[in-house]
Amino acid sequence: MSAQSPGPSGDVVVTVTANEVRDASGNAIAQPRSAPGEARKAAGDMRKERAGLARRYQELRGDLGGLLIEMARRDHFNFNLLRLRAAEAVEVEQRAREIDGHLTALAANQRLSLPAGTVAMTAKKCANCTGAIPADANFCAYCGTPTA
């Protein structure tokens, strides 16, 4: 267990290393096993695909606009052709949204993930015995003093 020095508000961040992490029900929580490099590579590949999709989407929008203008010039509209081209643009847009969601989740996971077996807890000091206690605790675990 390690603790950082208290901040201006008196809060202390305590890091506890454990062999196994369990939730409130006592069920073991699986820790991510992928290496950080693998996640970075996957994110890089997704960003490249996302950039390609953005270019393709712009092309499809331009093609759709050109098609519509040409059809208006000739006063002959082929709605099936427009529908097909628009459907392709919608598919590209949906895939781009999927990738955006994955990238957002990866970024959040990188910000929140800790090494396997490590749990972070925000703590404060007890006013009576100065022991480190969880920030949401109602009583000090060392001396029993109420925290509120």
Q: What amino acid occupies position 84?
A: L
Same domain, 64 and 126: no
- For residues 93 and 7, which has the higher predicted lDDT (pLDDT)? 93
Tokens read off for 95: 């895939």
pLDDT > 50? residue 3: no
**What is the β-pairing status of strands 2-3 and 11-17?**
antiparallel
pLDDT-based confidence at residue 2 (cuts at 50, 70, 90): very low
Same domain, 50 and 83: yes
Same domain, 2 and 14: yes
Task: State the Cα–Cα distance between residues 64 and 129, nearest whole angstrom.
Answer: 72
Task: State the Cα–Cα distance between residues 122 and 124, nearest whole angstrom.
Answer: 7
27 falls within a domain? no
Same domain, 60 and 84: yes
Same domain, 106 and 126: no
4 falls within a domain? yes
Task: State the Cα–Cα distance between residues 15 and 26, nearest whole angstrom.
Answer: 20
Same domain, 66 and 97: yes
Overall domain count for the chain? 2
Phi, psi of 6, deg, nearest 5: -65, 145
Same domain, 91 and 136: no
pLDDT of residue 91: 94
Same domain, 39 and 112: yes
97 falls within a domain? yes
What domain range is 148 assigned to?
A: 1-18+118-148
97-116: average pLDDT: 74
28 falls within a domain? no
Same domain, 71 and 104: yes
Same domain, 99 and 53: yes
99-115: average pLDDT: 73
87-106: average pLDDT: 88
